Amino acid sequence: MTQTRKRRFPIHAVVGTVPMILVSVGVFVIGIGFSVLWSFTSSKLFPSYNFVGLSQYRRLWADDRWLISINNIWFFGLMSIACNMVFGYLLAVFMDQRVRQEDALRSIFLYPFAMSLIVTGLVWQWALDPNLGIQQAMRNWGWESFTFAPLVQANTAIYGLVVAGIWQGSGVTMAILLAGLRGIDSEIWKAAKIDGIPTWRTHVFIVAPMMRGAFATAFVLQCVAVVRVYDLVIAMTGGGPGIATTMPAVYVIQLITVRQNVGQGMAAATLMLAPILLVLAIGGILQWRNRRKESRA
Amino acid sequence: MTDTSVASRIGSEPERAGTSVEPSGPKPRRISPGRIGLYAFLILSALFFLIPLYIMIVTSLKGMPEIRLGHLFNFPGEVTFQPWADAWLHACTGRDCFGLSPGFLNSVKITVPSVLISIVCASINGYALTFWPYKGANLLFGLLVFGAFVPYQVVIYPLIIGLSSVGLFASLPGIIIVHTIFGMPILTLLFRNFYAALPAELFKAGRVDGAGFWRIFFYIMLPMSVPITIVAVILQVTGIWNDFLFGVVFAGRQNWPMTVQLNNIVNTTTGVREYNVNMAATILTALVPLVIYFVSGRWFVRGIAAGAVKG
């Protein structure tokens, strides 16, 4: 039956999805293709097709800014993802204990996520201001030696970004993981209780492995956000002090707009695609393996 | 999922189905050291999340002399709404000193059409992918979902070149197109999953009655799509309102959205920094998504969850 139906070409469906075709092919295939292509050229402000091989990549890896931004994204990524996952999971577990005012607490944990990263960055920039922020308030309360102003020093500024990242992102992690927790059959808990397994062990060894899906979702979501991180840096530190908190996304935009070096910018952008492709590939392989396991069973 | 399942799982009283044993022993104590620790953790966390908001509100109501004293957490001695008026009408974004109001208008002008167009496109996509899959449709969809993961920086420059070649770079239609493009992957996924969960009989009945692609879409599918459309609207309005990168790159100076103007007010001021005006401006910028968040509540969470299931 399906074979006879497929004979007629659904012309209206194709017409209706023209925007999707344009975006899929025109932006995501051809657009990325051009970005990669231009990374091999000596393009300055405007694209050129004067191919120079890998020299843009070589120049990129000789540039301190790029090396610092790579270091920063690793540090920021590992720190903020680890903290968000741990803090988010703790919040989810604690929220799952039949607490009073659950809705109110949930709203509080999640509201920063509704706000722009620009707003988040500006808020924390002020809270961490050494003369007017938390540090000064503590000193005025009599704690004269209190020091907490990470943003003014090059080697600590990135911690400030991590704090803001946790403030904005751990609520979402909590929401996703809480949904995962609630999706677990209550029989599991009863069985573990009957077997006399302590609650924390049930959590770590039985329930957490069952929440693989929720963890994976939260993790991928944060990986994508980390690679893209731009607004937060611009609002909070502007990449400074100096170039201490510059990130690949900031670096690419600077190369395109301020330094008008499109070839090198596209080389950097192409490299930004690599970790995403890696994560997607790993995800794809895992899915494929799972499917094979299921079909065997 | 529901409260009852949670209650039955964590409840300290085990169910005694089938036995007639009377409950005995002391009633489980509600206040144990564990409970106290639990609430302490939750309350401390809540403070961590609330303090920045508190600082913003309190500071925006103070005068500058009071702010310079550095008592960040103190309640304003003398409440003034002047900073709010200044932020809205007089704060300087670089050369111009018209406050945030032009940026607000720009954000509205960008958000409303972007949301409408992207949702219309995505709902047709989702419908076509579910009920009228043509050869190659799934490959296109795969590419689109891949696009949800691509860092924006990878496609920004080709888009700049593409839009300027048709004369739409740094214009209102340009930024609307950009938001439509980047909203499409996740929204299409949302609508496709929704339509795929509908009973296929709905579609078949329409086909038997001789209805075509558009008739079934408008008369059967659209009226059923209200709940998912609400989720999509919330997702898009907050997402587009909060955008900074696309606004600063694609909108053009005269169309800069509120987020861009806010950043300019705060981070490029020369001379005295007016912290109270800055914080009032920040709250004003955050107000629209916050109102949507608090009004829509669970819909918002559902939107994030639905948006997150792409993994």
Q: Answer yes or no: are the C-beta atoms of A92 and A214 closer than 8 Å.
A: no
Around B16, how many Cα atoms within 13 Å sit in the side-chain half-sphere? 8
pLDDT above 80 for B183: yes
Q: How confident is the model at residue A294 (pLDDT cuts 50, 70, 90)?
A: confident
Q: What average pLDDT does the segment A60-85 reach?
A: 92
Closest by alpha carbon to B85, among B291, B279, B277, B285? Answer: B277
Closest C-alpha among A263, A274, A268 to residue A248? A268
From the list B45, B72, B297, the residue facing A137 with the nearest CB is B72
Q: Is the pLDDT of residue A49 over 80?
A: yes
What single-letter amino acid sits at A106? R
pLDDT band with cut points at 50, 70 and 90 for residue A69: very high
> Which of A42-46, A194-198, B122-126 has the largest mean confidence?
B122-126
**Residue of chain B minimizing CA distance to A215:** B311
Which chain B residues contact residue A14 at CB under 8 A?
Answer: 134
Backbone angles phi, psi at B93, to 5 degrees: -110, 90
Least confident of A35-49, A79-93, B12-26, B27-41: B12-26
Distance CA A236, CA A120 (A): 8
Contacts of A32 (CB under 8 A, 6+ apart): A273, B150, B154, B155, B158
What is the ipTM metric for this complex? 0.87
Q: What is the SS3 assignment for A238? A: coil
B65 CA: distance to closest CA in chain A (Å): 12
* Beta carbons within 10 angstroms of residue A89's beta carbon: 23
Q: Is the peptide bond before A241 cis (omega within 30 degrees of 0)?
A: yes
- At residue B15, the pLDDT reads 44
Residue ranges of alpha helices (H) inside chain A are 2-6, 11-16, 18-21, 32-38, 55-61, 64-95, 102-114, 117-127, 134-140, 157-182, 186-194, 199-201, 208-210, 212-228, 231-236, 248-257, 262-296
Residue-wise pLDDT tens digits, A228-275: 889 899 988 888 788 888 999 999 998 988 888 889 999 999 999 888
Question: Highest-confidence range of B83-87, B125-129, B294-298, by mean pLDDT?
Answer: B125-129
What would the pLDDT profile of B239-277 be if each residue is shown by its tens digit? 999 999 999 999 988 899 999 999 988 887 666 778 888
- Answer whether B101's CB lies under 8 Å from B91's CB: no
- Are A237 and A245 contacting, i.e. CB atoms less than 8 angstroms apart? yes
- Please give the average per-residue pLDDT across B276-285, as a whole number: 90
Distance CA B150, CA B156 (A): 11
- Kindly tell me if the per-residue pLDDT of B14 is higher than 50: no
DSSP assignment of B36-48 equals HHHHHHHHHHHHH
Q: Cβ separation of B244 and A172 shorter than 8 Å?
A: no
Residues of B in contact with A119 (CB under 8 A): 242, 259, 262, 282, 285-286
| Cβ count near A236 (within 10 Å) | 28
% of chain A surpassing 70 pLDDT:
97
Question: pTM to 2 decimals?
Answer: 0.86
Cβ contacts (< 8 Å) between B146 and chain A: which residues?
28, 280
> Cβ separation of B71 and A179 shorter than 8 Å?
no
**Is a pLDDT exceeding 80 seen at residue B25?**
no
Average the pLDDT over A43-60 and give the result.
Answer: 85
**Cα gap A266→B154, rounded to integer Å:** 7
A117 neighbourhood in chain B, CB within 8 Å? 242, 244
Closest CA to B162 of A258, A30, A264: A30
Interface touch B140/A272, C-beta < 8 Å: no
> Which of the four pLDDT bands, split at 50, 70 and 90, describes residue A78?
very high
Q: What are phi and psi of B96, to 5 degrees?
A: -85, 145
Q: Do B71 and A137 touch (CB under 8 A)?
A: yes
Q: Which of B7, B72, B153 is closest, CB to CB, to A253?
A: B153
pLDDT at B7 over 50: no
**pLDDT averaged over every residue in chain A:** 86
Which residues are A275's β-sheet partners?
Answer: none
| CA–CA separation, B83 and B281 (whole Å) | 8
Give pLDDT, residue A139: 82
Q: How many CB atoms lie within 10 A of CB A190?
A: 14
Which percentage of chain B shows pLDDT scores above 70?
86
The pLDDT tens digits for A108-152 are: 999 998 899 999 999 898 888 887 778 877 887 777 777 777 887
Give the per-residue pLDDT at B148. 85
Give chain B's largest Cα–Cα span. 81
Question: How sure is the predictor about A30, in pLDDT bands with cuts at 50, 70 and 90?
Answer: very high
d(CA B267, CA B273): 9
- The rounded distance, in Å, linking the Cα atoms of A109 and A123 is 16
- Is the separation of the CB atoms in B201 and B250 below 8 Å? no
Task: Indicate yes or no: CB of B152 within 8 angstroms of CB of A228.
Answer: yes
Does A105 sit within 8 Å of B46, measured CB to CB? yes
